[in-house]
Structure 1
Amino acid sequence: MKNQKLDSRKLKKQSIFKASFEESLNLLDDGISGKFAQENYQDALKKEKYRGALKSYVWLVFLTILFIIGPNWLIVALNDYLFYHANPRDLTVRLPEINFLPYWVFWMGLAIWILLIILGKRFNQQFILIYRGQFHVMVSFIIWLLVELNLLLLNLLYGLVEYLGLFAMEGLILFTIIYLIHAKSISLLKLLYGGTGIESPTDRVFNSVFRFIVKYGGIVVALWIIFRRIYSDSIRNADNLVGRLWILFLFLIFDILVSAFEIYFMFPYMLQGYYKLKYPEEYREWEGKTVEEWYGKKYLKKYKELLKNE
């Protein structure tokens, strides 16, 4: 018990970003993301041979417009049509007075996404290009898309839950995401440093509160919506209420599933990329790559001293 307490105190001072090279290799043993990370990495390596060709750049621009910029623009365009061009009599939902998804949200999201791409150009070692590309597609793009979908659904669900319900619903999602981040961070600390019993009394209280909110928060929100609709509208709206509650339920599940994917799969995977940047030579030798294979010809032109490590 005493050793366990000492181990817990030691781990509490650690960070998931300060592990040694040997400790960072423990990320590959993650029961949830380890296999996914390896398969994803190997699949990306096969596609890297097409990088740099003119055809690949043209194809990349086309796919970016079609599958990244396009969906985000369509969501805002649909919302704009419902708010400012559709006949209110034809709508089956009551829109709020405030438009939660104006066009400037799309342009701001696009600007942030492009800025992240520009900042990412600073890291141009061959071994990090895989992580850089997947970050823009599977992390920043998905977060951008998720934000727009949430704002669109806030507009569509306003008539069902009104502002108080909207805040409760988004609060439930936010609490769930924070809980998942906290739980995964503890799991990664244990994995990296091989510790047990990391949770302090404060952590246990924190976890208990968030588990309760995640487990029962949705039920409370649903009961509040049913109560409000039954006592404010006629019973003829029962079928419509059930349909909208089903949409709300699917919306909450979709948000949680996407967030869980980012936290439990993509974050540990990107953390591996971070440690490869931190310990490039150690990982190069561990993966058995030559200096040119690991860093790339373009990078070596600027940093010729790395050739001495061959």
Structure 2
Amino acid sequence: MIEVHLLRYALAAADSGSFSQAAARFGIKQSTLSKRIHYLEDRLGVALFRCSTQGVVPTDPGLGVLRKARQIVEDIDALDQDCAAIARGTAGLLRFGFHGSLGSGDLSAIIRDFRAAWPDVELAARERSRTRLLGALERDQIDFAVLSGQVQRAGIVSLSFWSEQVLIGLARGDPLCARDPLFWTDLRGVTFVISKVDPGPFLNDLVASRLSGPGFGPSVRVQDVRRENLFSFAGNGSAIVTTGVASEDDELVLRPVHDAFGATHLEQAIHWRRDNDSAALRRFLEMLAHRYGRPLPPH
């Protein structure tokens, strides 16, 4: 294998037309550089230079070799720069998973700001169910997952950074639409419609915690559909429970629901493997910590 520094010596001699100037560039003796270039010529079986009154000049075969050598050295230098950027977290790949929508809300703004700050970091996203995302996280197929609530699994770190408002979807014309603010206690007797997929199970628990009492609990229908398809079930005494940002239409009214402390929110958390040493992930987490004023756990 040919050492890269030998190629650098030959290129410096070709660029300067002088062994002495090339040697000075590297801080070595001219005799040392001359011996290294002769060794390179022996390895290649090609005479790279010939002497002239103006110094050293590449031979015709040497021109072809030096052209390829320059490309090799430039590629190696570029690789060094890329690796250094990846090590700093300013380049590379950041893989993440989520469930829901990237179209609006905090997660959309976070991704947009991260891309603006670190444009050389490639973001690879996947939308999956909670179970599949946690499996991908444990198998190191993604760097982090955005999911509701905490995750109690060995080796997984969970940290809540932001929350999404809990919204009640009502058929337009429902008397509850006139309640402002709308409280959980106003919803007694209503049948709640909740998605089976994340964050549906957390919303189901939330409704139960707000409206259950000794011997009774809320009426809940769970539908195996995504959030955007849930709204068609509003009406006939039913209320849709969802989170985040959604759009009203001619038949649907969305209202935040309150308790004594204000509007109800559902925490969203970032989950990652404790042993993940990705510098790009660290950059992302540091941006979140600064944005929300939350300290990160020790690395």
Q: Which TM-score applies when normalising by structure 1? A: 0.21
Q: Greater strand share, 1 or 2?
A: 2
Point out which structure has higher relative CO (alpha carbons under 8 A, 6+ apart). 1
Q: Greater helix share, 1 or 2?
A: 1
Q: Which TM-score applies when normalising by structure 2? A: 0.21
